[in-house]
Amino acid sequence: MVLGEIAPVSLGEAARPVGLIDFQDGHLVNADVEDGLRTDASVDIQQRGAGGVMNDVSIRGATFEQTLVLLNGLRVDDVETAHFNLDLPVPMAALEGADVLHGAGSTLYGSDAIGGVVDFRTWTPDVSTLRVRAGAGSFSEDQEGVLGALVMPRWSEVLAADRDRSEGFTVDRDYRTEDLSSETRAKSLLGASDLLVATDDRVFGANLFYGPYNSWERTKGWFAALTQGFDEHTSAGAAYRRHTDEFVLFRNNPAAYENNHIDQSYEGFVRDTRTVWTHTTLLTGLEETTDQIDSTNLGVHGRNRGAGYADVEFRVPRGSLSAGVREEIFSGGRAVTSPTVQGTLRLGSSVKARGSVGYGFRLPTFLDLYYSDPVTRGNANLQPESAWNYEGGVDWYPTGDVAVSVTGFTSVQKNTIDYTRPVGTAVYMATNLGSLQFTGVESSAEWRVSGTQSLRASWTYLQGTQSALGDGVQSEYVFNYPVNNGRLEWRWKMKQGVLVQSRLGVLERFTQAPAPASAPYAVFDVSAARDRGWWRPYVQMSNLANTGYQEIVHVPMPGRSFVGGVEFVWTRKR
């Protein structure tokens, strides 16, 4: 099933731009999930640190808070602050891939889906296997990982763990990350069952992350989800997520200023998809979510919301048309209606036109509402964000080895939440901006050069309306978007079982940010690995041009670095 579609379709039939990212195909050439997401030029990864530490993801210029992150279709967005949305507790080796939906998606997915949706999918094994990995590299980095999969006729188990540690490329940028997950799948008279339990622990120096301070932070996460398919039409599930955040402003003087936050989320759903008439599919669903936080800074708060939604799709040989609506009701009586309409039309055998109109919204995080420190203030009177997304595009498949896609889009936002301050003052205040509009074009081309080589290029151009900010006012987040984002990836699978991958990214951010954050920069990465056999060496070479750049203003990123190691694989034949 393609993200954003109500029934399983191929990517070539989808009405919305969707990026499909495979983590298992050559998994040793990608350092982390952020590397995979960067192959999509409409996705902007704003890193504060390496090793999966404090990385924000946004789509089409939306803020990182306006991008919904899912794990197997279940929410993992953090209600304290969206800075932790990519604190995935599942090791990368146990992830199959990610689907990236561009544009508003609140009809099917609810709050936070203004700019898009990223759904990470866990790996389903087909044979029993054991993988053991170890590596080392620049800045005293060392990596360890293990994955075991047991496949039986009616059930399977995947157990995975990894650890990554580094002393950091500069002072107070050291880190240690650990992830552990267990996923059990079984088939019974009830249907297909899936139980996922996972946890993670991230400790890192946060020098300059939130200002000119040698800060320190530790986050922990716990995630548990049970989904049950009853037949080919109906499924139900429940999930629990707990996340803790310990923050110290001055690492060498923890008693001066420290925050501790504990947030919890509970989610339950029932979904049904069935053919109601010839060529007509109906999706219906009910969801309930409860969020809570207990914080030394934010206080104790909670909120509930329930939603019902329906989407009907009609398909004919030359295209499709679907329309849906979601009604979400929050504690206190507030309700939000999120409609969407989308369709496709075949223009011959190799060209498809598509278009959509959709609505997205986002509730403020608890940090947006209640946070307070010497330079940042929340605002308990914030209104929810909302946006209308309009897009149209064309997909062209001239041969079986070439695919070209172009999409124009506009997002008209209301009550966008940002932290702003008058120039010359010290305190950023959370506030709702007035009307804000982002307009752009995204394009991609993929070419399977031969049976062993492939080439993919993508480019996204974005223009925003800054009038909502006002003269003499600085923005902390909203206007850090990329004006130009270009990506080029080349992969070569040699007959000897060696995979070589090179990636070039060129990015230019909006010029409100001071140099060098706003200056165009290029980052070139090369990786190689043996992807078959019982021993598989690998090397990952990052930022080979030693480019100095910042994805978050005033937070420098590492220069040239290398990591190498070997993975041992034992597989039981069928």
Rounded Cα distance between 150 and 127, Å, is 7
> Please, what's the largest Cα pairwise distance for the chain?
69
Q: Which CATH class is domain 11-571?
A: mainly beta
Rounded Cα distance between 164 and 135, Å, is 9
Q: How far is CA 2 from CA 39, 149, 258, 565, in A?
A: 18, 26, 43, 35
Torsion, Cα 50 52 53 56, to 10 degrees, reads: 100
Per residue in 362-392, pLDDT (tens digit) is 999 999 999 988 888 999 999 999 999 999 9
Q: How far is CA 530 from CA 30, 216, 566, in A?
A: 13, 37, 9
Distance from the Cα of residue 246 to its chain's centroid: 23
Rounded Cα distance between 543 and 562, Å, is 9
Q: 234: number of CA atoms within 13 Å, CB side?
A: 5
227 strand-pairing partners? 194, 237
Rounded Cα distance between 80 and 245, Å, is 9
Q: Give residue 464's pLDDT.
A: 84
Q: How is residue 87 written in tokens?
A: 């604190």
Rounded Cα distance between 52 and 29, Å, is 16
Rounded Cα distance between 541 and 137, Å, is 10
115, 60 Cβ separation under 8 angstroms = yes
Per residue in 288-305, pLDDT (tens digit) is 999 999 999 999 999 999
Instruction: State which amino acid sits at residue 338.
Output: S
Q: DSSP character for 433?
A: -
Instruction: Decide: helix, strand or coil at residue 167.
Output: coil
Q: How far is CA 571 from CA 130, 155, 321, in A?
A: 6, 17, 45
Q: Give residue 500's pLDDT.
A: 96
Q: Is the pTM of this model over 0.75?
A: yes
Domains in the chain: boundaries: 11-571
- Give me the tens of pLDDT residue by residue for the chain, a chain 574 residues long: 556 655 555 556 677 888 889 999 888 998 889 988 999 999 999 988 888 888 999 999 999 999 999 999 999 999 999 999 999 999 999 999 999 999 999 999 999 999 999 999 999 999 999 999 999 999 999 999 999 999 999 999 999 999 999 999 999 999 999 999 999 999 999 999 999 999 999 999 999 998 889 999 999 999 999 999 998 899 999 999 999 999 999 999 999 999 999 999 999 999 999 999 889 999 999 999 999 999 999 999 999 999 999 999 999 889 999 999 999 999 888 899 999 999 999 998 899 999 999 999 999 999 999 998 888 899 999 999 999 999 999 999 999 999 999 999 999 999 999 999 888 888 999 999 988 899 999 999 999 999 899 999 999 999 987 666 777 788 888 888 999 999 999 999 988 889 999 999 999 988 655 565 568 899 999 999 998 899 999 999 999 999 999 888 889 999 999 999 999 999 987 5
End-to-end CA distance of the chain: 28
Helix (H) or strand (E) holding 367: helix 366-370
Instruction: Go through the chain and tell me how many residues it has.
Output: 574
Q: Give residue 514's pLDDT.
A: 56
Q: Give residue 516's pLDDT.
A: 57
Instruction: Decide: helix, strand or coil at residue 212.
Output: coil
Helix (H) or strand (E) holding 547: none
Q: Give residue 451's pLDDT.
A: 86
Q: How far is CA 199 from CA 90, 91, 179, 453, in A?
A: 7, 9, 6, 37
Rounded Cα distance between 153 and 344, Å, is 40
